[in-house]
Amino acid sequence: MSKELLNPNGEKVGEITLEKSVFGVEPNMHVMHQALRRQLNNARQGSACAKTRAEVSGGGKKPWKQKGTGRARAGSLRSPLFAGGGVVFGPKPRSYAFNMPQKARQLALRSALSARESQMIVVKDFSTITEPKTKLMAASLKALKISGKVLIIADTKAAENNYLELAARNIPSIKIILPSNLNVKDLLEADNVVITEAAVRFITEKLS
């Protein structure tokens, strides 16, 4: 399957062939959902913590005698029944992370790329952005006729994309990721995906 290869000014400079096994598979919704859940779960801190009655300070002395007061018997003021007492079944630090087989993770990425293929624009590189200026990036987005949330997949360390990150960082709707950091969440959240020719080659090699 071929796609137009554009420059950042929106002009066609050639065509690129997208590997059907990476960019043209039938999206597997279950595996994508699982990969998204894994990514969100693995990002959770899991640091919430409440003290039980054994951990709250104080409460060593029996508050009143066992019998004869007319009150219910009590052995400690740090019981969950009293203000300042412990918490019953409160949260404890834990990990929410879970794993997925590598082949399933790769299938999820191929599914997400295939699902966004129609909203994907392939650019040769960002060599026309020769200064770290927001207006150059804004002009490029306008020329490419894209709006909303934009995901740019490019190697920002490459010489031809030298000023890409600096030119885009003041535009809140743009997110830039390295091809090696490709993930399901960013692909599904974006309204448009802009990917460089080099990134297409890298991803094809990685997921084929």
> CA–CA separation, 85 vs 47, rounded Å?
21
Q: How far is CA 31 from CA 65, 70, 104, 115, 203, in A?
A: 61, 62, 7, 13, 19
Q: How far is CA 138 from CA 4, 25, 99, 150, 169, in A?
A: 21, 33, 39, 12, 11
Residues of the chain with pLDDT under 70: none
- Domains and their CATH numbers in the chain: 2-44+101-207 (3.40.1370.10), 48-95 (no CATH)
> CA–CA separation, 203 vs 155, rounded Å?
12
Query: Cβ(8)–Cβ(143) under 8 Å?
Result: yes
Q: pTM for the complete prediction?
A: 0.82
Structure confidence at residue 203 (pLDDT): 93
Using DSSP's 3-state secondary structure scheme, residue 124 falls into: coil
Structure confidence at residue 66 (pLDDT): 95
* pLDDT tens, position by position, 69-122: 999 999 999 999 999 999 999 999 999 999 999 999 999 999 999 999 888 999
CB atoms within 10 A of CB 16: 17
**What are the structure tokens assigned to 54, written together?**
């054994």
Using DSSP's 3-state secondary structure scheme, residue 194 falls into: strand
Q: DSSP of 69-90, one letter per residue?
A: SSSPP-S-TTSTTSTT---TT-
Residue type, 11: E
